[in-house]
Amino acid sequence: MMEMRIPLSSPDIAESDIEAVTAVLRTPRLSIGPKMAEFEEAVAGYVGAAHGVAVSSGTAGLHLGLLALGIGEGDEVILPSFTFLAAAHAVLYVRARPVFVDIDRESLNLDPARIERAVTPRSRAILAVHTFGRPAAMGPILEIARRHGLAVIEDACEAIGAEYRGRRAGGMGDIGVFGFYPNKPVTTGEGGMVATSRPDLAAAMRALRNQGRRESDGWLDHELLGYNYRLSEINCALGVAQMRRLDAILDRRAQLANKYCERLRDVPGVTLPALTMADGRVCWFVFVIRVAHRDAVCRRMAARGIGCARYFAPVHRQPLYAPYAGADLPVTDEAAACTLALPFFNGLTDSQIDEVCDCLRKT
């Protein structure tokens, strides 16, 4: 694969992050230690949840959340197809059935009106994804869930710091899941977090992440069928250090989004994302435009050493999910054909943004 002169993403690692990791390496405790507890408290407290459960990835968090909620074979989980396929994978992990619902044309998040029509007697949960860091319409979603007795899982893997009507993403549903892969605003290298205010769910997920061992079990006693979804002290130390810089990170990414919009506002054929939302705050995970002939544009920019990517390939079009394709999803298909992610990371410079925009304009 050709190395990009301007990459699509790049982690922001400060000296304070390096020092935090080094400090852990000088201790005898590299797993299930004080840094894990500190990281859990930092994320849960930030989003307004009572409990945090650190896990090895956002995908692991989604999996454990579904298990803790008791969702399994024969159950249905409503979710968007316009998302990273890990959300749907987690549904299959528990042998439930993913029910794909179309999205709102502007926000690219689940359309609440279509959620209502997708509910059946087998529905157990709504998995709402905060796509590209823009909060989903949680007010209507939570109301639909209440009327039908459904659990709500927030996939906030792209949305730490996003807000909806004064509440933070990941702290509104039964469970909120965050991811900390290197392309995220906050990174732990690999890692994730589940936030919940339900002590029963938190206890279940803590056991399940550690091979099924409950806190009351003795050493090598495991009451449940669990997994090795632990997150090391090294990862957690990095997460704690990054969380201390979160406000500055979010502000920097908002500034970058503004700069892109200023430079691309007059480019014909380019549709820009909304910089603001009336009832919330966007967490700028990526900067995604909509453009005709997206694949050709992407190839030409890549040939000039500029990283870009299609976000997202719809899940219901993947061969594995053909049996679950169900009804047509016209807005999902329309969006998936034209969305293009441009280089976006904390260290992106003005000159790099100028080059990206100039190349896009010429292309």
pLDDT digit string (tens) for 300-323? 999 999 999 999 999 999 999 999
Please give the Cα distance from 45 to 58 (Å, whole number). 18
Q: How confident is the model at residue 222 (pLDDT cuts 50, 70, 90)?
A: confident
Superfamily the domain 246-362 falls into: Aspartate Aminotransferase, domain 1 (3.90.1150.10)
Q: Exposure pattern of 288-320 as b/e (b: 16+ CB <10 Å)?
A: bbbbeebeebbebbbeeebbbbebbebbbeeee
> Contact, 104 vs 85, CB < 8 A?
no
Q: Exposure pattern of 34-49 as b/e (b: 16+ CB <10 Å)?
A: ebbebbbebbbebbeb
Nearest to 241 by CA among 287, 188, 281: 188
Q: How confident is the model at residue 3 (pLDDT cuts 50, 70, 90)?
A: confident
347 three-class SS: coil
Q: Is the pLDDT of residue 1 over 70?
A: no
pLDDT of residue 267: 95
Tell me the CA distances in angstroms from 330 to 87, 109, 116, 253, 307, one per residue in order.
20, 14, 17, 31, 28
pLDDT of residue 2: 63
Tell me the pLDDT of the chain averaged across its residues: 96
pLDDT of residue 326: 84
> Contact, 186 vs 249, CB < 8 A?
yes
Compute the average pLDDT of residues 152-176. 98
pLDDT of residue 220: 82
Nearest to 244 by CA among 31, 29, 38: 38
Please give the Cα distance from 288 to 290 (Å, whole number). 7
pLDDT of residue 219: 77
Tell me what percent of the residues of the chain surpass a pLDDT of 70: 99
* Secondary structure element (H or E) that encloses residue 214, with its range: none
- DSSP states along 142-161: HHHHHHHT-EEEEE-TT-TT
Is-cis flag, bond preceding 132, omega within 30?
A: no
Tell me what percent of the residues of the chain surpass a pLDDT of 90: 95
Compute the average pLDDT of residues 95-99. 98
Q: Where in the chain is the domain with CATH 3.90.1150.10?
A: 246-362
Comparing 27-31, 214-218, 249-253, the range with the smallest average pLDDT is 214-218
* Secondary structure element (H or E) that encloses residue 138, with its range: helix 138-148
Q: Identify the CATH number of the domain defined by range 15-101+108-244.
A: 3.40.640.10
Comparing 7-11, 78-82, 223-227, the range with the smallest average pLDDT is 223-227
Catalytic residues: 184
Q: Where in the chain is the domain with CATH 3.40.640.10?
A: 15-101+108-244
pLDDT of residue 285: 98
pLDDT of residue 270: 97
Compute the average pLDDT of residues 249-275. 97
pLDDT in tens, 103-153: 999 999 999 999 999 999 999 999 999 999 999 999 999 999 999 999 999
